[in-house]
Amino acid sequence: MKTQHDTKESISLYDNYKINLKPKDTDKKFYFIFSNRELLLIDNQLPLLKDLKELDINEEDVENCIYFGEFYLKDAYAVELSEDFDIDGFKEENEEINLKFINLYEVFDINEETYYLGGRAIQIIDWENNHQYCGRCGAKTVTSDVEMAKVCPECGFTSFTRICPAIITTIIKEDEEDLDENGKPTKKILMARHSYHEYPRYALIAGFLEAGESVEEAVKREVMEEVGIEVEDVQYFGSQSWPFPNSLMIGCICKYKSGEIKVDENEITKAKWFKKEEIEQPPSNISIFSRLLKNFKENY
């Protein structure tokens, strides 16, 4: 695959985080505490505590408490509160410390690093919940001592944390019938309106990889299935963890080859070509979608 370098300088998951399998029992720990997939922040910061009892969270209040590495040289734990935990009472008891449970989407605009680590934490909780039993023989699994994996003591089957790769792509076309001020074909990108959006908005073509296919094949197949055109010259742009719930978004750039737009009328309701000045930039940079649009506007 050809590569187009993504020049955006971004925070890395590993800037201040290190994967460890065993806690160091630091004096204080970072707790990524979730209730209904919302992350607890105190004054817009992660709780840094000696233990959960500092917040009057007891053992019976916790569904999962999983050590998942070292953050700023402190042990880090992914915590899932039990379904019957009294959230309203908890908030009332802690009014003086500005305690809030916040959707991960919103955490991004508060602190990117907290968002990235929170995304890892919630995916580890999901992995814990979804792999309690062996998918091959049904026996109760145990957590490995040497790697982040669930091992079946009966048949030996091993389950690692899971991600689902998906592509998202800009499709660039030189419109010979629409010339710019220099007499050259105008560059446009194809955007589509998806049936599952809660409000009308055009977005880029995206979809999950199928078993056995490459990223390039996934791009070509998804574009053909959703808007009925052929593309070529697929280039890698960048990737992004997308913890909603467990995707890896692979950003690509490709060129229009042939065909006329024909939407599937199932997932895609409308699609059309946009000039750069017609593109509405998303209000948040949380998604690689925003970076792909910005790249088109600045470099084409």
Helix (H, G, I), strand (E, B) or coil at 62: strand
Query: How much is the pLDDT for 8?
Result: 47
Task: Could you please state the CATH topology (level 3) that the domain comprising 9-126 is classified under.
Answer: Nucleoside Triphosphate Pyrophosphohydrolase (3.90.79)
| pLDDT of amino acid 265 | 82
Return d(Cα 110, Cα 225) in angstroms, integer.
Answer: 38
CA–CA distances in Å: residue 186 to residues 7, 100, 172, 212, 223: 24, 48, 10, 37, 21
User: Quick one: tokens of 63?
Assistant: 């569904």
- Token couple for 162: 């899971």
Q: What tens-digit pLDDT sequence spans the chain (300 residues)? A: 444 444 445 789 999 999 999 999 999 999 999 999 999 999 999 999 999 999 999 999 999 999 999 999 999 999 999 999 999 999 888 888 889 999 999 999 999 999 999 999 999 999 999 999 999 999 999 999 999 999 999 999 999 998 999 999 999 999 988 888 888 899 999 999 988 766 658 999 999 999 999 999 999 999 999 999 999 999 999 999 999 999 999 999 999 999 999 998 888 999 999 999 999 888 889 999 999 999 999 999
Are the C-beta atoms of 203 and 280 separated by less than 8 Å? Answer: no
Both tokens assigned to 144: 């490995």
pLDDT of residue 195: 84
Considering only the C-alpha atoms of the chain, give the largest distance between any 2 of them, rounded to a whole number of Å. 71
**For the chain, where do the domains classified as CATH 3.90.79.10 start and end?**
164-299
* CATH number for region 164-299: 3.90.79.10
What pLDDT, on the 0 to 100 scale, is given for residue 201?
85
pTM exceeding 0.85: yes
CB 119 within 8 A of CB 104: yes
Q: Which element (helix H / strand E) includes 238?
A: strand 230-242
pLDDT for the residue 200: 58
Q: Nearest CA to 115 among 299, 279, 283, 285?
A: 285
